[in-house]
Amino acid sequence: MKRFIDLFAGIGGFHLAFHKLGLECVFASEIDKYARQTYEKNFRKISPKLFIKNRFNEDILNLNYKEIPDFDILCAGFPCQPFSQVGKKLGFKENYQSRGNMFFSIRDIIKVKKPKAIFLENVRHLINHDNGNTFKVIRQIIEEDLKYSFMYSVVKASDFGLPQHRPRVFIVGFRDENTKDSKFEFPKPVKLKKTMSDILGGKCTRDIGLTLRVGGGRSPINDRRNWDGYIVDGKEVRLNPIHGLEMMGFPKSYKFPVNKNQAMKQLGNSVAVNAVRAVGNNVIKYLDSF
């Protein structure tokens, strides 16, 4: 059985996707105490070994990377606020050991553990941040310093069956592979089968929903910051965590041991499970081809 680690794990979108693909999570790291509660609530039963011997790490900066169990695939939705349109867009200019520099923790883990593959996720604006310089640095580190191939694609949740835009850049790399010779391909989009009308239980004016995010909740429905308000059967409806779970690809049985505001924040910070699973499936097939 192939094994993976889940860095900046949030509420476990990567974990859920790769668990469904038959892989074992052997290490995870998440610093937010409320996200940790939700993560453990939902994964303790299916991955019990993860919650012993500090394998569910709280602070990636206080960790001996050599102690991480061996694994095949490194997964990381590293902090995106420094690169997003709604953040300050500071990127690598933020202070050392800050959100913007968490990529360097990923780099150091790759150096020590040398996994077969890496799978990173971030906001699409990472590509153009600082006139493309931030993305250029990331690519140089992965290709030149770490000797991994580097392939990326902007993937939308709606490309893989979820009625939400949520464009994100997915970065995939394989150890000791040359980018131009790599036969890895990102999956083709599939037809949308579920719309916002299905999720909200009435005729919604949008088939594909707005991107769930952290700020701007309860903004006026016509405000550019609105993402949680919709017109359904002529009436205004606001999203709740059950709606958010469906839009992100989590099962309705997923539990939130936190209040509604925290649950919506956690969903806004998560990854689209269907999209991760589709790309992850291709990563596994590529590794199996050797």
Domain at 207, CATH number: 3.90.120.10
Tokens of 102: 């968490």
Whether residue 45 sits in one domain with residue 22: yes
Whether residue 205 sits in one domain with residue 113: no
**How crowded is the C-beta side of 13, counted as CA atoms within 13 Å?**
29
Q: Alpha-carbon distance 20 to 121, whole Å?
A: 19
Q: Examine the residue annotation and report whether 75 is marked as an active-site residue of this protein.
A: no
Whether residue 257 sits in one domain with residue 168: no
Whether residue 182 sits in one domain with residue 223: no
Whether residue 223 sits in one domain with residue 150: no
- The residue range of the domain holding 160 is 3-190+272-288
Q: What is the CA radius of gyration of the chain?
A: 19
Q: Alpha-carbon distance 87 to 138, whole Å?
A: 19
Mean pLDDT of 79-102: 51
Whether residue 239 sits in one domain with residue 110: no
* pLDDT for 20: 97
Q: Alpha-carbon distance 286 to 152, whole Å?
A: 15
Whether residue 74 sits in one domain with residue 10: yes
Q: What is the pTM of this model?
A: 0.92
Whether residue 251 sits in one domain with residue 143: no
Whether residue 109 sits in one domain with residue 40: yes
Whether residue 146 sits in one domain with residue 124: yes
Confidence of residue 177 (pLDDT cuts 50, 70, 90): low
Whether residue 86 sits in one domain with residue 10: yes
Whether pLDDT at 89 is above 50? no
Q: Which H or E run contains 273?
A: helix 273-288
Which residue type sits at 232? Answer: V
Whether residue 174 sits in one domain with residue 121: yes
- The number of domains in the chain is 2
Domain at 129, CATH number: 3.40.50.150
- Tens of pLDDT along 15-59? 999 999 999 999 999 999 999 999 999 999 999 999 999 999 999
